[in-house]
A and B are shown apart, each in its own frame.
Chain A
Amino acid sequence: MEFEHRYAGASQVSEAAGKSALSFVPDLLRPPTFFRGALTDALPFREAMSALHDVVVSDLRFQPKDRSKYLAWRAQQEAVDLVGVARDRLETAREIERLQAELTPLESHIRTARAPFYQARTRYWKYLFERDRELWFKLDPVITVHPDQIFFECFSRDESSYGRLAASYEAFDELGERACGTTNVDYSDGLYGEFQKLRSYKRTSLDVDPSGFSVATAGEAHREVKIDVPESWVRGFLQVSSAMTLTTTVVDLHPMDIHNVCLVLRRNKELVGPRSLRYRLRPGEPVVIVVEPWNIEVRCPRSIYRGDKAQEIRVWGRRRLHILERLLPRAESVRVFLLGTGQPSFYVVKLGALSFTLGLSGWTKNDWSASGNFDLMAAREDVDDNTRQRVFARLGEVWFSTAAALAKDLGLSEPLVASSLGGWVQAGRAIYDLENGVYRKRELSREPLPAAALRFTSPREEEAARILHQGKVAIDEVTTSDGHTKIAGRIQYKGRVRAASLVLDADRRLVEGDCTCDYFIRNRLHRGPCDHLLALRAAERRGISDLIESSPEPRKLRSSTSPRKLVLPQAAPRQQVSFWEWLLVVWKRLIQAFFGR
Chain B
Amino acid sequence: MRIVDQARLGFREGTSDKVYELDIVEVADGQYVVNFRFGRRRGSLRDGTKTPLPVSLERARAVYTALVAEKTNAGYKPLSAEDVAAASPSVIEPRPSAARRERELIEELGRGHRSEQPLHLLVRKVGERGLHEAEPFLLELLAGSHEARVKPEVLRHFIVAALARCGSSRAVPALEAIFEDGKQPRHLRDIGLLALTVIGGAESRQKARARVLARLRPTPGGELGAYVRAAEELLEKDPEQARAAIFELYVSAPSCLDAADTEEDRLARGIVLGLARIARSVSVEHGPLARANWAKLKVEFGLLRSLNWAAEIRRDAELFAVLTRRFETERRGTRDTKNYFRRRAARTLRRLGSIESPDYVEFASALALSYADSDAEPVRDGFANWDAFARYHALNFILYGNSPRYERAGHRRATWRCSHGYVPSAPPPPNREESFPALWDQAPEALWRLGVSDAANPVIHFATRALREQTEFLSRVEDVKLAQALSHARRLMRLVAFEAARVRAPNLLLARAALLSGLDEADSWVLHWVESSPTILTEHVELLALMITSPSERVRAAGGGFASGLSLSEDLARELVSSTIALLMSLPNETSADERVQSAASLLLRHAAAALDALGIEVVKDLLAHAVSGVAVLGAEILLRRARTGTLGDHLLDALLESSHASVRSIGARVVADTPPALMKDEPELLVHLALSSNVELRGGTRGLLGEVARLYPGVGARVASELVDSLLTRQAEGVPAHVVSLLRHELKGCLPKRDAVNVLSLVGALSPHAREAGGLLLGAMSPDEFELEQIVRLAGHEILLVRQGAWALALAAKDRFRVAPIALARLCDARWDDSRAFAFEFVRSFAREDVVPDTVIAICDSIEPQVQRFGQTLLLEYWREQDAPRYLVRLSEHPSANIQLLVSGLLDRHARGNLVLLEQLLPCFRSILSRVNQGAVAKERVLAFVRSEATASAEAAALVAPLLERQSLTRAISHKGSLIAAMVAINEQYPEVPVPISSAPVSLHSRSRRGI
Contacts and interface: CB of A to CB of B under 8 A. Distances in A.
Interface of A: 14-17, 43, 46-47, 50, 130, 193, 196-197, 199-201, 254-257, 259-260, 262-264, 266-267, 298, 301-302, 322, 325-326, 328-330, 591, 595
B896 A50 contact: yes
Interface stretch (B148-156, B610-618, B721-729, B970-978): B970-978
A478 B967 CA distance: 43
Contacts of B822: 17
B972 A262 contact: no
B480 interface: no
A134 B927 CA distance: 33
6 contacts: A15-B823, A197-B864, A260-B970, A263-B972, A266-B933, A325-B932
A196 B970 CA distance: 28
Interface of B: 383, 790, 821-823, 827, 832, 855, 862-864, 890-891, 894, 896, 924, 927-928, 930-934, 967-968, 970-973
Contact of B970 (A257, A266, A329, A591): A257
A267 B823 contact: no
Given A199-B894, A298-B972, A263 B383 contact: no
A267 B932 CA distance: 13
Contact of B973 (A263, A298, A595): A263
A199 B891 contact: yes
* Listed residue (A17, A130, A257) with the most chain B CB atoms within 10 angstroms of its CB: A17
* Listed residue (B821, B827, B930, B972) with the most chain A CB atoms within 10 angstroms of its CB: B972
B563 to A, nearest CB: 51
Contact of B971 (A130, A196, A256, A267): A256
B310 to A, nearest CB: 38
Contacts of A263: 933-934, 971-973
Given A256-B968, A263-B933, A15 B827 contact: yes
Nearest to A198: B894
Nearest to A322: B933
A350 B457 CA distance: 96
Nearest to A200: B894
A325 B971 CA distance: 14
A199 B890 CA distance: 11
A301 B823 CA distance: 47
A53 to B, nearest CB: 12
A72 B819 CA distance: 56
A425 B1003 CA distance: 60
Nearest to A15: B823
Given A43-B924, A325-B933, A591 B971 contact: no
Contacts of A264: 972
Contact of A197 (B821, B862, B927): B862
A143 to B, nearest CB: 23
Given A302-B970, A329-B924, A591-B383, A46 B896 contact: yes
B971 A595 contact: no
B967 to A, nearest CB: 7
Contacts of B971: 256, 259-260, 263
B733 to A, nearest CB: 26
A266 B967 CA distance: 21
Contacts of B890: 201
Contact of A17 (B823, B832, B896, B973): B823
A328 B933 CA distance: 10
A24 B970 CA distance: 39
Contacts of A200: 894
Given A46-B896, A199-B891, A329-B924, A259 B823 contact: no
Q: Give chain A's interface secondary structure class.
A: helix
A50 B864 CA distance: 13
A301 B894 contact: no
List 8 tightest A-B contacts by C-beta distance, closest first: A256-B970, A266-B934, A329-B931, A329-B928, A260-B972, A262-B933, A329-B927, A328-B931
Q: Give chain B's interface secondary structure class.
A: loop
B884 to A, nearest CB: 15
A37 to B, nearest CB: 21
A303 to B, nearest CB: 10
B831 to A, nearest CB: 12
Contacts of B864: 193, 196-197
Contacts of B827: 15
A4 B821 CA distance: 40
B933 A259 contact: yes
Contacts of A325: 931-933
A266 B891 CA distance: 30
A43 B928 CA distance: 11
Nearest to B862: A197
Contact of A196 (B823, B896, B930, B933): B896
B598 to A, nearest CB: 39
A595 B382 CA distance: 13
A298 B822 CA distance: 48
* Listed residue (B383, B790, B896, B932) with the most chain A CB atoms within 10 angstroms of its CB: B896
B862 A199 contact: yes
A302 to B, nearest CB: 7
A47 B832 CA distance: 24
Contact of B967 (A15, A16, A197, A256): A256
A16 B821 CA distance: 9
A43 B933 contact: no
Given A16-B823, A46-B896, A328-B933, 13 more contacts: A15-B823, A17-B821, A196-B896, A197-B862, A255-B931, A256-B971, A257-B970, A259-B933, A260-B970, A262-B933, A263-B973, A264-B972, A329-B927
Contacts of A43: 894, 924
A197 B868 CA distance: 13
Contacts of B970: 254, 256-257, 259-260, 301-302
A127 to B, nearest CB: 9
Nearest to A262: B933
A292 B832 CA distance: 44
A46 B864 CA distance: 14
A262 B924 CA distance: 20
A267 B967 contact: no
* Listed residue (B862, B924, B930, B970) with the most chain A CB atoms within 10 angstroms of its CB: B970
A297 to B, nearest CB: 10
Contacts of B894: 43, 199-201
A259 B931 contact: yes
Contacts of B927: 329-330
Contacts of B930: 329
A14 B789 CA distance: 13
A123 to B, nearest CB: 8
* Listed residue (A199, A201, A328, A591) with the most chain B CB atoms within 10 angstroms of its CB: A199
Contacts of B973: 263
B972 A130 contact: no
Nearest to B834: A123
B931 to A, nearest CB: 4
* Listed residue (A193, A197, A254, A326) with the most chain B CB atoms within 10 angstroms of its CB: A197
A255 B930 CA distance: 13
* Listed residue (B894, B933, B934) with the most chain A CB atoms within 10 angstroms of its CB: B933
Contacts of A47: 896
A103 B682 CA distance: 66
Given A197-B862, A199-B894, A260-B971, A130 B832 contact: yes
Contacts of A259: 931, 933, 970-971
A423 to B, nearest CB: 40
Nearest to B972: A260
A262 B970 CA distance: 13
Nearest to B821: A17
Nearest to B887: A201
A201 B933 contact: no
Contacts of A260: 970-972
Contacts of A201: 890-891, 894
Contacts of A255: 931, 967
Contacts of A197: 862-864
Contacts of A199: 862, 891, 894
Nearest to A594: B410
A254 B969 CA distance: 12
